[in-house]
């Protein structure tokens, strides 16, 4: 299949986050990560558990297979069988994330959502981030407020910030000091461009190209999961 | 058995200046808006509001009722940010204790269990503890020796919640998919008021939908539509048009007509 879009590459990059997850609750925030989780469930990870974002666990056919109101989500968070993909108003070199406020927390220049579940998520189980507009304003040297905990503030036995997927690249923290590393750039994006859109220096030693979706994945994305192509609004080509 | 029926104004008349008031629901879902609107009509001030925040927070900010807000987030769900709350924060108009959502629940549980605190991992390493130095940690007395957050009890003077059905004695039922944390708010509070879509003589549906029993409730207010414009499924969904109207007016610093 041809004319593969950037959004579709982001969807499969998000699906790959769940490789090996098995019977784990996938909690994607935002459209592209949600499509990615559903795609993983339909392909490599049939055991994955998906919620409707409200109180139900749903099969790909939208049959209710479980009940998970917010209070039980907190139980799963503490129990640990969960991989959350959160958004980030800011994410920094060591994977700290901010969804709380820009500026001084006592009197912010911009109030955002609040800490939400970010502190508990990041200290309890695997966490990844989705950044639909990779820019120096989002990929900052140090976040204004630490909502999600990064490697330089990590404590306890369960901290695991896995990857950052952006509209330009896939990044992780697999370096000796757990600073951010460029894993792959999406087709058509250069390492220089990613670096230019990032406020701090990335480790970029063995950068590859993000893989293309398979024909089967493209069919699922285009015909089953997102026939109205809402993905192109989140990541324009 | 006691008949606990009363009006929204009567329920709210028990709140005094400076009290701590917990508000049930979640974001823009099943908020006790009729009870919140009753507060707006009073001269009450200096309230500490404890809630998973939605337009209840925005309206109380707009009316200048809040001295301090305890929350994990404030959102209108389909509209990410509440403009009144944003303005209150960005002008430094209110004091805040901003918590992780799970810490918030843990604090309600501690209060309901009459404990000074409960341990939780959430919060460690994050700026929750930096902005709330009154929150302490505790070390496990067992061999692991792990350091944990000692989440203090979120004790409430008054809890306000909205459910689908109630009887006149204070038993109350949710019919939607999520109980939210309304039972925990009631257990954490000295006085508890539930508004409901309809007062019934007997309940239909499975008994596990009976979230509140009469030990947990001091007053019952029949308020059809009393969660509007937030959702109260299956009785009604969120009124998105009304919510948009609210948010657009709020962005211009006024209340909807």
Average pLDDT score over residue span A187-193: 98
Tokens of A121: 């998520």
The string of pLDDT tens digits covering residues A130-162 is 999 999 999 999 999 999 999 999 999 999 999
Fold of A6-234: Glutaconate Coenzyme A-transferase (3.40.1080)
Overall size of chain A counted in residues = 237
Q: Is the pLDDT of residue A201 over 90?
A: yes
Contact A158 B72 (CB under 8 A): no
Contact status of A77 with chain B (Cβ, < 8 Å):
yes
Strand, helix or coil for residue A131 = strand
B contacts of A147 (beta carbons < 8 Å): 126-127
Residue B159 neighbours by CB under 8 Å, 6+ apart: B21, B22, B23, B24, B185, B186, B188, B189, B191, B192, B193
- Inter-chain CB proximity A119 and B120 less than 8 Å: no
A212 Cα to chain B: minimum distance (Å):
32
Structure-token pair, residue B13: 């008349």
**Would you say residue B146 lies in a domain?**
no
What's the CATH code of the domain at B53? 3.40.1080.10
User: Cβ contact (<8 Å) for A155 and B147?
Assistant: yes
| Substitution target from B50, B102, B151, B233 for chain A, most A beta carbons within 10 A | B102
Size of interface A-B (CB pairs under 8 A): 132
Average pLDDT over residues A162-167: 98
Predicted TM-score (pTM) of the model is: 0.96
User: Domain limits at B88?
Assistant: 19-116+155-248
Using the beta-carbon criterion (under 8 Å), do A55 and B177 form an inter-chain contact? yes
- Across the range B110-114, mean pLDDT stands at 98
Which residue(s) pair with B68 in the sheet? B48, B95
pLDDT of A162 reads: 98
A187 lies within 8 A of chain B by CB: no
Q: Is A2 on the interface with B (CB under 8 A)?
A: no
Residue given tokens 């059905």 in the structure block: B165
- Residues in chain B with CB shorter than 8 Å from the CB of A108 are 89-90
Answer whether B250 touches A (CB < 8 Å): no
Q: Decide if B102 and A74 are in contact by the 8 Å CB cutoff.
A: yes
> Is residue B121 included in any domain, yes or no?
no
- Test B100 with A116 for CB contact under 8 angstroms: yes
What letter does residue B216 receive in the DSSP assignment? G
Whether this model's ipTM surpasses 0.90 comes out as yes
Q: Is the pLDDT of residue A1 over 80?
A: no
- The pLDDT confidence band at residue A40, using thresholds 50, 70 and 90, is very high
Q: What is the CA radius of gyration of chain A?
A: 17
pLDDT of residue B28: 98
Q: What is the DSSP string of B53-75?
A: ESHHHHHHHHTT-EEEEEEEEE-
How is chain A split into domains, by residue range? 6-234
Nearest CA in chain A to B109: A71
What's the mean per-residue pLDDT of chain B? Answer: 97
Q: Which residue in chain A has the smallest CA separation from B82?
A: A113
Which 181-240 residues of chain B touch chain A by CB within 8 A? 181
Contact A71 B105 (CB under 8 A): yes
Residue B185 lies in a domain: yes
A87-143: pLDDT as tens digits: 999 999 999 999 999 999 999 999 999 999 999 999 999 999 999 999 999 999 999
Q: Is B147 on the interface with A (CB under 8 A)?
A: yes
pLDDT tens digits for B60-69?
999 999 999 9
Interchain CB distance below 8 Å, A69 and B177? yes
What lies within 8 Å, CB to CB, of A155 at 6+ separation is A123, A149, B124, B125, B147
Q: Please report the pLDDT score of residue A237 as a whole number.
A: 84
A positions 202-221 inside 8 Å of B (CB): none
pLDDT of residue B256: 80
The per-residue pLDDT for A65 is: 97
Residue B96 lies in a domain: yes
Q: Is the pLDDT of residue B43 over 90?
A: yes
Q: What is the pLDDT of residue B255?
A: 85
**Gap between the Cα atoms of B217 and B212, Å rounded:** 7
Which residue among B99, B128, B180 places its CB closest to the CB of A70? B180
Domain count, chain B: 1
Which of B90, B123, B128 is closest, CB to CB, to A107? Answer: B90
Interface test with A, best of B58, B82, B123, B124 (most A CBs within 10 A): B124
Chain B interface, best mutation among A64, A65, A111, by max B CB count within 10 A? A111
């Amino acid at each position: 299949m041809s004319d593969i879009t950037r959004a579709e590459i982001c969807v499969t990059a998000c699906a790959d986050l769940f490789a090996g997850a098995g019977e784990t609750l996938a909690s994607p925030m935002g459209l592209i990560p949600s499509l990615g989780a559903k795609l993983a469930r339909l392909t490599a990870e049939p055991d994955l558990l998906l919620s409707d974002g409200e109180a139900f666990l749903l099969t790909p056919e939208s049959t209710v297979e479980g009940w998970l109101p917010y209070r039980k989500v907190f139980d799963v968070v503490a129990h640990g069988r969960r991989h959350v993909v959160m958004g980030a108003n800011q994410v920094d070199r060591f994977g700290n994330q901010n969804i709380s406020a820009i500026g001084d927390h006592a009197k912010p220049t911009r109030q955002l959502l609040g800490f939400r579940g970010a502190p508990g998520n990041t200290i309890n189980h695997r966490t990844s981030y989705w950044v639909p507009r990779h820019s120096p304003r989002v990929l900052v040297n140090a976040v204004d407020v630490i909502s999600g905990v990064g490697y330089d503030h990590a404590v306890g036995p369960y901290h695991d910030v896995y990857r950052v997927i952006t509209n330009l690249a896939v990044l992780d923290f697999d370096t000796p000091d757990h600073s951010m590393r460029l894993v792959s750039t999406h087709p058509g994006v250069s390492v220089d461009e990613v670096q230019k859109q990032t406020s701090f220096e990335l480790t970029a030693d063995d950068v590859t190209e993000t893989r293309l979706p398979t024909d089967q994945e493209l069919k699922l994305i285009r015909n089953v999961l997102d026939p109205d192509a809402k993905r192109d609004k989140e990541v324009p080509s | 058995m006691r008949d606990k029926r009363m009006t929204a104004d009567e329920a709210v008349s028990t709140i005094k200046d400076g009290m701590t008031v917990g508000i049930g629901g979640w974001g823009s879902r099943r908020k006790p808006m009729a009870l919140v609107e009753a507060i707006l009509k009073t001269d009450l001030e200096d309230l500490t509001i404890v809630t998973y925040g939605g337009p209840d927070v925005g309206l109380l900010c707009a009316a200048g009722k809040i001295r301090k807000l305890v929350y994990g987030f404030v959102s209108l769900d389909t509209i990410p940010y509440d403009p009144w709350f944003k303005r209150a924060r960005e002008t430094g108009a209110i004091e805040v204790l901003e918590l992780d959502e799970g810490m918030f629940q843990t604090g309600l549980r501690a209060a309901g269990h009459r404990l000074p605190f409960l341990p939780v991992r959430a919060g460690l390493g994050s700026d929750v503890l930096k902005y709330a130095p009154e929150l302490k940690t505790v070390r496990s007395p067992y061999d692991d020796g792990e350091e944990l957050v000692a989440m203090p009890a979120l004790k409430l003077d008054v809890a306000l919640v909205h459910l689908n059905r109630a009887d006149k004695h204070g038993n109350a039922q949710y019919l939607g998919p999520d109980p939210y944390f309304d039972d925990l708010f009631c257990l954490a509070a000295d006085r508890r008021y539930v508004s409901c879509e309809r007062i019934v003589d007997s309940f239909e549906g499975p008994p596990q939908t009976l979230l509140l029993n009469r030990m947990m409730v001091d007053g019952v207010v029949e308020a059809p539509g009393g969660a509007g414009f937030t959702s109260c499924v299956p009785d009604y969904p969120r009124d998105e048009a009304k919510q948009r109207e609210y948010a657009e007016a709020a962005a211009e610093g006024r209340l909807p007509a």
